[in-house]
């Protein structure tokens, strides 16, 4: 009888050990259940010091639109003078600049709308961030945070503090409140906010039903549940906190491994996932937009800023307009130059040198160039295709600033996915990445195969999706007065979920070895009901999971739960629950565990599967095994999970991306169906069935 290297109890779970042993005895195979990853994430009980820090961060982010209601922090913020403690900063210039800007009244006032896409506002935010990031120790960081809390714009404060907490060593493992609870206005419709105010005036607890934008007359309404999902919005905004386009890697001393490639792959996967949802709702694949064409579908956000009016709407068939600093012709020229670089497989750097794109790392350079990040080889020549695209769409209805309209949804990462034009913009950009990938040769036989390893069978539980209700706490959306106490008011929205499921992968190997396991899902038929060839299907394949497993000589059954996916993270704890758990731990009533690699970035686990159809919808499932020892990058245990959402969100804390394969391998390059399928690449049909409720 085989075993899982002596860890059958771990891999099958203590409660199921007899079942595990019986299975091994009957089948004569090693049953390796990878659920132990949940146990081995490095979680440990938090000490009092960490708990106190966590509590202070939560207090700082409480009702940020109001003066700090916590007297200890407010008093500290008023009394602390950073200029008297400059030696406590690794780089004192930012905090000196911040104090000077504040005292001279040059900062964005509190109550004004902050957007990262405004150069002046972003530079101010970076000064705030660097003042926090360069603090020598926790005490200086905390005092600086209290100092800026009530002095700077609340939007700049939240973003700067969040990015600092995510990147400082002494705040590793801290959990930030859900973005949709810190700034509910960005995530819920204005009708909900108005109803919430009425309920508060009556001092009555309430749950206000929130509908998606549009009507049944708008076909895009059918997939609004995806773009307007608060989990998607939160994932997108946190990705751009983990990988800010303004991040100075050398100056900050924190490398962003494969940031450009992650920019490409995460957004590519968002588009592919929308395309599968569109097929599930009898809609064709999303079409790219073009700078000189009309934008066919308009968008009415139905959301309002806390101060500053409603988000601008865009009518149907609107055209891109020149802005003061961004011209439509320039966007056409930037695209032409990028296409030339791709066709020549070489980028011209700002120093006039040629940087090759003809290898597996070319996509990382191209991603940095298209966004662009600080790593762009030549932003003056190739422009800022992605960032300028967001700005052009955000200001399309008031390009001259004639009506002083507030920023559009595309000018905030928290709200951008609500607009169907977001996906059309990224389809346009993704086609440039596709052009580059198509220039590379298809994978050779030796790059695809895993000698001595064969997948014998793959089974999976029934795949069932359904809609459910979800409540969003609106506490931070409403103003406080001495006369009106807080009451429980929530927005209730429908959202997609799925039943938990488990993959069972039967593998035969000629020796014991470590295997990298990749699981993908793609459409079987297109909008017209025609079966999609593999070389076209690869463009719409979504990643479900990627992990490492030990396979023994002979047969091994690898089991993997949907809840363990490397793509996704579970629902975020509400702020109230998080505060209560921290307080209970501080009082010794309970244990609070901390994971130093905790991730806020991650696709919602409940959206791992596309919706499917009521009578069942066929999809193509792919499982690929490769030799992990040949692609391993970090000197860490093979089952280290980097916080759990590496596929779209990469790594933090200085780690490199854990494998050297291109993201999306082996579907990122053109496929010759006669040469593609090997014994280590398995395909089967699966069916996803949608039910109205569970």
Residues with catalytic function: 371
Exposed/middle/buried for 324, CB within 10 Å: 0-12, 13-18, 19+?
exposed
Locus of tokens 């493992």: 173
**DSSP states of 500-543 as a string?**
--EEEEEEEESS-EEEEEEEEEEESB-TTSPBPPHHHHGGG-EE
Angstrom distances, CA of residue 209 to CA of 79, 185, 232, 233: 44, 15, 19, 19
Strands 318-319 and 294-295: antiparallel
Locus of tokens 């799925």: 498
Closest CA to 405 of 85, 643, 115: 115
Closest CA to 171 of 145, 149, 153: 145
- Rounded Cα distance between 80 and 52, Å, is 20
CB 592 within 8 A of CB 51: yes
Angstrom distances, CA of residue 68 to CA of 64, 75, 315: 7, 9, 40
Tokens of 335: 């695209």
Tokens of 390: 């967001």
Q: Crossing angle, helix 259-280 and helix 230-242, to 10 degrees? A: 170
CB 607 within 8 A of CB 232: yes
Closest CA to 300 of 321, 327, 318: 318
Angstrom distances, CA of residue 404 to CA of 232, 396, 408: 29, 12, 12
CB 241 within 8 A of CB 410: no
* Cβ-based neighbours of 539, under 8 Å, separated by 6 or more: 272, 434
- Rounded Cα distance between 650 and 597, Å, is 12
- Rounded Cα distance between 114 and 508, Å, is 56
Q: Where are the alpha helices (DSSP H) in 205-248?
A: 224-227, 230-242
CA–chain centroid gap for 189, Å, is 22
Q: What is the dihedral of CA 388, 389, 392, 394, to 10 degrees?
A: -110
Neighbouring-strand partners of residue 551? 513
CB 406 within 8 A of CB 341: no
Exposed/middle/buried for 553, CB within 10 Å: 0-12, 13-18, 19+?
middle
């Amino acid at each position: 009888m085989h075993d899982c290297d002596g860890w059958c109890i771990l891999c099958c779970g203590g409660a199921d050990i007899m079942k595990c042993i019986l299975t091994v005895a009957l089948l004569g195979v090693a049953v390796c259940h990878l659920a132990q990853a949940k146990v081995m994430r490095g979680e440990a009980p938090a000490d009092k010091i960490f708990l106190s820090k966590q509590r202070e961060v939560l207090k700082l982010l409480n009702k940020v639109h109001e003066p700090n209601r916590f007297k200890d922090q407010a008093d500290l913020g008023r009394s602390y003078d950073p200029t008297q403690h400059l030696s406590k900063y690794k780089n004192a210039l930012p905090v000196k600049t911040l104090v000077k800007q504040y005292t001279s009244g040059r900062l964005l006032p509190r109550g004004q709308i902050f957007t990262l896409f405004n150069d002046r506002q972003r530079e101010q935010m970076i000064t705030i961030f660097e003042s926090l990031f360069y603090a020598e120790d926790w005490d200086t960081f905390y005092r600086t945070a209290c100092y800026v809390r009530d002095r700077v714009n609340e939007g700049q404060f939240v973003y700067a503090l969040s990015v600092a907490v995510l990147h400082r060593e002494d705040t590793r493992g801290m959990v930030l409140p859900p973005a949709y609870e810190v700034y509910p206005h960005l995530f819920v419709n204005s009708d909900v906010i108005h109803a919430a105010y009425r309920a508060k005036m009556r001092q009555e607890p309430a749950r206000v039903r929130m509908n998606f934008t549009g009507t049944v007359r708008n076909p895009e309404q059918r997939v609004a549940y995806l773009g307007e999902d608060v989990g998607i919005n939160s994932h997108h905004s946190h990705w751009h906190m983990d990988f800010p386009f303004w991040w100075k890697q050398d100056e900050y001393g924190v490398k962003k491994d494969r940031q450009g490639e992650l920019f490409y792959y995460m957004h590519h996967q968002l588009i592919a996932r929308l395309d599968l949802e569109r097929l599930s709702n009898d809609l064709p694949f999303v079409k790219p937009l073009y700078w000189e064409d009309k934008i066919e579908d308009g968008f009415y956000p139905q959301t309002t800023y806390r101060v500053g009016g409603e988000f601008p709407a865009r009518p149907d068939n609107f055209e891109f307009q020149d802005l003061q600093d961004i011209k439509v012709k320039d966007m056409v020229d930037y695209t032409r130059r990028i296409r030339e670089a791709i066709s020549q497989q070489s980028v011209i750097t700002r120093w006039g040198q040629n940087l090759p794109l003809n290898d597996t790392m070319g996509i990382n350079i191209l991603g940095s160039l298209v966004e662009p990040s600080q790593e762009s080889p030549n932003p003056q020549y190739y422009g800022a295709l992605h960032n300028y695209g967001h700005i052009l769409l955000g200001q399309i209805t008031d390009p001259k600033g004639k009506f002083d309209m507030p920023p559009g949804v595309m000018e905030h990462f928290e709200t951008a996915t609500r607009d169907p034009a977001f996906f059309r913009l990224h389809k346009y950009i993704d086609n440039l990445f596709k052009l580059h990938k198509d220039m590379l040769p298809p994978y050779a036989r030796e790059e695809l195969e895993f000698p001595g390893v064969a997948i014998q069978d793959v089974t999976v539980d029934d795949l069932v999706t359904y809609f459910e209700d979800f409540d969003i706490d609106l506490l931070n959306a409403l103003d406080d007065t001495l006369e009106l106490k807080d009451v429980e008011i929530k927005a209730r929205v429908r959202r997609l979920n799925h039943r938990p499921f488990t993959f069972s992968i039967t593998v035969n190997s000629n020796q014991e070895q470590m295997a990298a396991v990749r699981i993908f899902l793609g459409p079987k038929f297109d909008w017209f009901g025609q079966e999609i060839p593999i070389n076209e299907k690869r463009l719409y394949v979504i990643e479900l999971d990627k992990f490492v497993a030990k396979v023994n000589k002979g047969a091994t059954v690898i089991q993997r739960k949907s809840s363990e996916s490397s793509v996704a993270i579970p629902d975020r704890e509400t702020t109230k629950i998080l505060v209560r758990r921290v307080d209970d731990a501080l009082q010794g009533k309970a244990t609070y565990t901390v994971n130093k690699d905790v991730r806020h970035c991650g696709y919602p686990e409940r959206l791992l599967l596309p919706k499917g159809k009521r009578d069942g919808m066929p999809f193509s499932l792919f499982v690929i095994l490769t030799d992990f020892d040949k692609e391993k990058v970090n000197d860490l245990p093979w089952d280290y999970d980097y916080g759990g959402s590496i596929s779209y969100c990469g790594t933090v804390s200085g780690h490199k991306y854990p494998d050297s394969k291109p993201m999306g391998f082996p579907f990122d390059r053109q496929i010759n169906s006669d040469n593609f399928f090997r014994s280590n690449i398995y395909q089967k049909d699966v069916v996803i069935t949608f039910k109205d409720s569970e």
